[in-house]
Amino acid sequence: MNSHVMQSFSLTGKTVLLTGGAGLYGTQIAIACAQAGGSVYVTSRDESRLEAIEEKFRQEGCTVHAIQFDQENLSSIAAIRDKLEEREGKCDVLINNAVARTMSHYNDSLESFARSMAVNATGLFEITRVIGDWMAEKGSGSIINIGSIQGMVGPDPTLYEGLPLNGLVPDYFFHKGGMVNFTRFIASYYGARQIRCNCISPGGFQTEKNLPEFVHRYNDRTMLGRMAKSDDIWGPIVFLASDASQYVTGTNLPVDGGYTAK
C-alpha cells in the first residue's frame, strides 16, 4: 500500500466549489469539506452577503471563501470558472447544492415552474458542464449532486394531514428525481477522463422550526427513528469528494436513516 487508508479521506490540496452553501445542508457540507482540509468556496446570489457568510464560517472555526454566483444567470455561471481560475487555478470538487424553491403548491403558476426549471435544470446543467469541461482538461475531478429522498419516492400525504404544511410541491420532486439519472449521465460522459459523478439523497433535517407532530410522524417512517442531525452528511460528503471513493461513480447514496428502504 502506498498510503494509510485514512489519508485517502483528506481533501488537503483540493479546491471545492459548493453552490448554495448558506442553507441547512450547504452549511454542513462546507464545514465538512473545510475540516477535511479542502479550500472551500461557497456561493451566494447576493454579493453584499459574502463577507457575512465568511464570518459565519469563521465563527464555526472554519475558513470558507464566499463568491458571487447566480445559477439563474447564465453569464454568472460562465464567470465562475474565471473566478476560481484566478484564485486557485483549478476545481477538484463540484458540489451541486443550490436549489430554488419557487413553487408552494400543485396549482401554483406556470411561471413559478418555469423559473424553477431555469435554476434547477438549466442552471444545474450549465454549471456542471462549465466545471466538468474544466475538470476534463485537468484529467480528474469529483462532481457531487445533492438530491433528496423526494427524488426517489413519491410524497406521503399522511405526514402533513392536519398540519399547516404542504409537502406536495411538484417541481422539487421533478428536479430531484431527474438529478439522480442526470448523475448517471454525467458519470458516463466524463468517466473516460477520470471524473466521477455521484449523488447524495438526504432525508429530513431536524431543526427547531419543525413541528413536533411532524417530527414524530417522520421519525416513525425511518429505520433509525429520527431525522437527520447536522453532522450526518459530513462523512458521505467527504467520502465522495475524496480519493477514498476513487472507484465509485454513477451512484445515488440515500442518507436518510432508512426512510426509502422501509
Closest to 211 (Cα-Cα) out of 147, 152, 161: 161
Distances, alpha carbon 144 to alpha carbons 43, 128, 165, 200, 230, in Å: 16, 10, 30, 7, 19
Tell me the three state secondary structure of residue 107: coil
Whether residue 216 contacts residue 254, with contact meaning beta carbons closer than 8 Å, is answered with: no
Q: Would you give per-residue pLDDT tens digits along the chain (262 residues)?
A: 456 899 999 999 999 999 988 788 899 999 999 999 999 999 998 889 999 999 999 999 999 999 999 999 988 898 999 999 999 999 999 999 999 999 999 999 999 999 999 999 999 999 999 999 999 999 999 999 999 999 999 999 999 999 998 889 999 999 999 999 999 999 999 999 999 999 999 999 998 889 999 999 999 999 999 999 989 999 999 999 999 999 999 999 999 999 999 8
Query: In DSSP terms, which residues pair with 198 in a beta bridge?
Result: 144
Whether residue 79 contacts residue 57, with contact meaning beta carbons closer than 8 Å, is answered with: no
The kind and range of the H/E element at 253 are strand 252-255
Distance of CA 111 to the CA centre of its chain: 25
- Positive or negative CA dihedral for 197, 103, 157, 215? positive
User: Rounded to whole angstroms, how far apart are CA atoms 160 and 218?
Assistant: 10
Residue 75 confidence (pLDDT): 87
Q: Which residues contact 37 (CB under 8 A, 6 or more apart)?
A: 10, 11, 12, 13, 14
Which DSSP symbol is given to 223?
S
Query: In DSSP terms, which residues pair with 68 in a beta bridge?
Result: 44
CA angle 113–115–116, rounded 5-degree value: 60
Rg (CA), the chain: 18
Q: Is the pTM of this model over 0.85?
A: yes
